[in-house]
Amino acid sequence: MPTQTFLNLNEDKQNQIFNALINEFSNHRLMDAQVARIIKDCSIARGSFYKYFDDINDSYQYALKRVLREIHFDVFAQLKAETTDSLHAFYVATESFINELENSDYEQFYRKYVLFNQYELKHVEYDYNNLPDDKLILMVNGQKISDRKTIVLTYKWASRAAHQTIRTVLNGGDDKQALSDFSDLLKLINKGLVN
C-alpha cells in the first residue's frame, strides 16, 4: 500500500499518479509493467516512485484497491435488502458490477486483473468462515437457512460463479448468455437448498 509520503501528496498529484498506474496496468500485464513508463507518464522521478510505493506490485495493489472501491458492488448490503431470495442478491450485484465496469474507465484494467494479474499476484479466495453471523444471511423462498456451514458453502459457490460470470464477459463472452447461465445456476442451488 502507498506510504504516508504518498498520502501526504495533494489530491491532484495522487490522481495524476493513479491515472498513470491505470494507464500502465490497463495496457500491460503486471509481469510486463515498467516503472519507467509510469514515472514518465506522471512526470515524477524514479526515486519519488519508490518513496510512494515499495515496488511495482505495491503500486498495483494500491491501484486495484482504489478501482475496486470505486466500482465494486456491496453484496452484503444487497443480501440484507433481499428478503426472500438471497442468491438473487448475488445475481443483482454481479449484473450491476458488469454494467458499472462496462461504463467505466477501468474496464481494461480489470480485464487484465481477471485474465492475468490475479494469478500472478496469487489471489487468495475470500474466506466466508470469517464473517460474523449478522452477515451470513441466506433466505430461500422466504425461509431463513440457519446452518452456518450451508450458508458459508453457498456463499462460496455463488461467489465463484459470480466471478466466473465476470471473467466470461471480460474474456469476450456474451454478457446476456453469461448472466442467464448464472441466473439458472443460482436457481438450481436454491432448489437444492429447499429439498
Give the residue from 21, 37, 69 where a domain finishes: 69
Q: What's the whole-model pTM score?
A: 0.83
- 128 plus 32 within the same structural domain: no
Buried b (16+ CB within 10 A) or exposed e, 2-36: beeebeebeeebbeebbebbbbbbbeeebeebeee
- 98 plus 184 within the same structural domain: yes
- 127 plus 141 within the same structural domain: yes
- 180 plus 108 within the same structural domain: yes
Provide the domain limits for residue 106.
Answer: 73-193
CB 150 within 8 A of CB 193: yes
Q: What is the pLDDT of residues 168-187, one digit of tens each?
A: 999 999 999 999 999 999 99
Q: What is the pLDDT of residues 77-98, one digit of tens each?
A: 888 888 899 999 999 999 998 9
Q: How many separate domains does the chain show?
A: 2
